[in-house]
């Protein structure tokens, strides 16, 4: 049964309304505006019948306070008053009332208006709940999409960005270089003799070596640089706003650090080395040409002794 709050300071009016409404609703009574606001917060009704002429504050001010209070802001309010001036009716709607019934009124009309308003309010609440559910589902879906997108850009084993994501970073860096007239350097890095490590110690050891190698790379570059897994035991480093010689020096430091950081696996010490192929972006060079130049440099380094940094001019 719907709860109705009657707000009136006239005992005779309250008695008449209670007799009329008790068969249709659960009736609560407040005799002042202050009491109405307090009751509506503590025991939220479904609808409020509000007399305009109250002893402590008028019904208009009471309605304002009800609408300003979170717990009662959305409760439908019907003004019931003998004030029939147009200005009073308009004011009732201005302060947030949903209806205004002038005394004397037909009992059946009042009940029908109340039921109609309660039905509208029930529909509003159902719609609000439906919207809330849809919004929650939408947020969950967005979260899943973001997760899928992130996973599609991240290498599972090393948690580095993958080839796809790095290619986007390189394109963005090319656009930035075109706008600002600055070059950048990239390097493809390959772990030397990685196949032998897998064949000798097993793939679990190979994975351990990859993670160790990645940790060394990440700890050796600047926060502005990018590291990605390019494929297998190959990694690509992107050095924004970095000239070729500066990039070469950075790679040489990383290479030395790799040499000085052996892998410990199940009590075994495995020394690893790496070969670097470097290229520098030049105006009008396409991304495929830039990557191929670094790859050619890497190939040259692998063929001529490994464990070195080789530069390919564009």
| Residue spans of beta strands (DSSP E) within the chain | 3-7, 26-30, 47-51, 77-81, 99-102, 185-191, 226-231, 234-239, 263-265, 268-270, 274-280, 309-311
pLDDT of residue 111: 94
Q: Do domains 3-121 and 163-311 have the same CATH topology?
A: no
67-112 pLDDT, tens digit per residue, is 999 999 999 999 999 998 999 999 999 999 999 999 999 999 999 9
Closest residue by Cα to residue 14 from 64, 60, 54: 54
The structure tokens 């199940």 sit at 266
123-135 pLDDT, tens digit per residue, is 999 999 999 999 9
ω into 104 cis (within 30 of 0): yes
Please state the domain extents for the chain: 3-121, 163-311
Residue 89, both tokens: 């009716």
Q: So which residues are the catalytic ones?
A: 233
259-303 pLDDT, tens digit per residue, is 999 999 999 999 999 999 999 998 888 999 999 999 999 999 999
Q: Rounded to whole angstroms, how far apart are CA atoms 227 and 237? A: 5
Closest residue by Cα to residue 47 from 130, 95, 116, 94: 116
Question: Which CATH fold would you assign to the domain 3-121?
Answer: Rossmann fold (3.40.50)
Question: Which CATH fold would you assign to the domain 163-311?
Answer: Alpha-Beta Plaits (3.30.70)
Quickly count: other Cβ atoms within 10 Å of residue 44's Cβ.
13
């Amino acid at each position: 049964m719907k709860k109705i709050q009657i707000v009136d300071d006239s005992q005779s009016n309250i008695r008449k309304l209670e007799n009329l409404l008790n068969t249709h609703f659960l009736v609560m009574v407040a005799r002042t505006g202050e009491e109405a606001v307090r009751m509506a917060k503590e025991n939220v009704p479904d609808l409020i019948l509000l007399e305009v002429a109250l002893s402590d504050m008028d019904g208009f001010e009471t309605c304002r306070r009800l609408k300003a209070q979170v717990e009662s802001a959305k409760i439908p309010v019907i003004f019931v008053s003998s004030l029939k001036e147009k200005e009073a009716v308009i004011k009732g709607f201005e302060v947030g009332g949903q209806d205004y019934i002038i005394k004397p009124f037909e009992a059946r009309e009042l009940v029908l208006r109340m039921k109609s308003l309660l039905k509208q309010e029930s529909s509003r609440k159902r719609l609000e709940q439906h919207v809330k559910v849809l919004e929650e589902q939408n947020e969950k879906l967005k979260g899943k999409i973001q997760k899928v997108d992130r996973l599609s850009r991240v290498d599972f084993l090393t948690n580095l960005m993958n080839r796809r994501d790095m290619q986007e970073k390189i394109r963005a860096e090319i656009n930035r270089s075109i706008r600002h007239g600055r070059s950048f350097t990239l390097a493809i890095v390959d772990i030397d003799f990685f196949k032998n490590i897998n064949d000798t110690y097993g793939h679990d050891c190979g994975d351990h070596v990859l993670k160790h190698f990645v940790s060394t790379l990440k700890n050796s570059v600047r926060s502005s640089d990018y590291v990605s897994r390019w494929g297998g035991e190959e990694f690509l480093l992107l050095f924004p706003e970095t000239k070729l010689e500066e990039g070469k020096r950075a790679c040489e430091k990383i290479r030395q650090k790799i040499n000085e950081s052996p892998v410990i696996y199940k009590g075994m010490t495995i020394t690893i080395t790496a070969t670097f192929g470097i290229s520098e972006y030049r105006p009008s060079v396409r991304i495929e040409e830039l990557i191929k130049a670094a790859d050619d440099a890497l190939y040259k380094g692998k063929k001529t002794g490994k464990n070195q940094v080789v530069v390919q001019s564009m």
